Structures are given as structure tokens and as C-alpha cells.
Amino acid sequence: MIKQETELLDCYIIEPDKFGDERGYFSPYYIEKNLKELGFQGVVQANRSKSSKGVVRGLHFQKDPKCQAKIVEVIKGSVIDVVVDLRKDSKTYKKWISVLLTDKNNRQLYVPRGFAHGFVSLEEDTIFHYLVDNDYAPELEDGIFWKDEEININWEEIFTEYEINNPILSEADQKRKTLKECKIEFRRGNK
């Protein structure tokens, strides 16, 4: 496994080992010691979503005490994955990155606890897979407005580059509060 640092503190791009021949390949993705090196507490739940081209999901997080870290990847298709550091004591607080994840580049992204997460699907029938390290708690599920001006994600550039004319969002994601309106108290090392 190759762990590549990003511009965000504690957030990593992961390139799993890949072994193959003319038949195809084998990739051991989730090796416990590798996950622990990242700071991942252990797999509690695995989730999968299917999205059409232009679907935007996010920016989501789960509040304490059920804050979640995630390891995300694309099984089929491609996405631009976006994460925002919401930990007030982090030197990268309110900063964001975007990463291209595809079924061909074999990349994963480790999203620490205290981050908002979202993505835009670049292809029809994209299948997105993620592992989380804490229980799902619908009463603690939340998010921030995807076009929050304070964070200023360059969605329009992404949409132009990938020919997305009409982004598709859930009603909930269209109505989320801005970061200023949210009462978020994430800190580095939230358990």
C-alpha cells in the first residue's frame, strides 16, 4: 500500500497493492495493520451507492459522539471526491481538496473524523463504496451547504471540465446550512 499525503492534515490518498497477470488482478484493499497506520479505528459498516452522471452527494458528516472516518473508493465509473477539514484546531481548518477516484486508477481516499465529505459522479451508473469506523446514527447525520461561499469549492470548474450541465442534488443537500450557521465542534482526534 502506498499512502500519499494530501494538502489536508491527516487525510491520505491510498494506492493499494495490485497483483496481476493476463487473467486480471488481485488487490488486498483492507489490511488491518495498514488501516491502523492511517488512524482508522476499524470497520463498523460498509456502504455502497449508485449514482447517475451529475449527481452531487454532500457535503456530509456525522456529529459526535458518532463521528466517522471513511475509506472511500469507486468500484465502477468515476467521481470527483471532495473533502473539507472541519476540525477547528487543525492547521487546515476550512480547507478542501478534490481527488479523482475511478474504477481504473485504483485509488482510495482516507477521510478522517471531523471532515465533511461529498462527490460528484462523472459517469452513468457510478458505484461508490465506503467503509466507516463508527455506527450510523441518523439523528446525528448532518452536512454543510455544498456551495458554501466561505469554503468556496470550485464546483463550476469541475462541472465545466466534465460536461455536467445540470447537477442533481437531494432536497436535503440543497437546503443545508452554511458552515457559519452550523454548530460544529470537531477537534483533531475525535473519538
Provide the annotated active-site residues. 60, 130
Long-range pairs for 165-171: beta carbons < 8 A, 24 or more residues apart: 165/54, 166/54, 167/54, 167/55, 167/56, 167/120, 168/52, 168/54, 168/55, 168/56, 169/55, 169/56, 169/57, 170/57
- Distances from the Cα of 38 to the Cα of 28, 71, 91, 98, 178, angstroms: 16, 10, 18, 19, 29
Start-to-end CA span in the chain (Å): 25
- Do 103 and 77 touch, CB atoms closer than 8 A? yes
For residue 74, give the C-alpha cell: 469507486
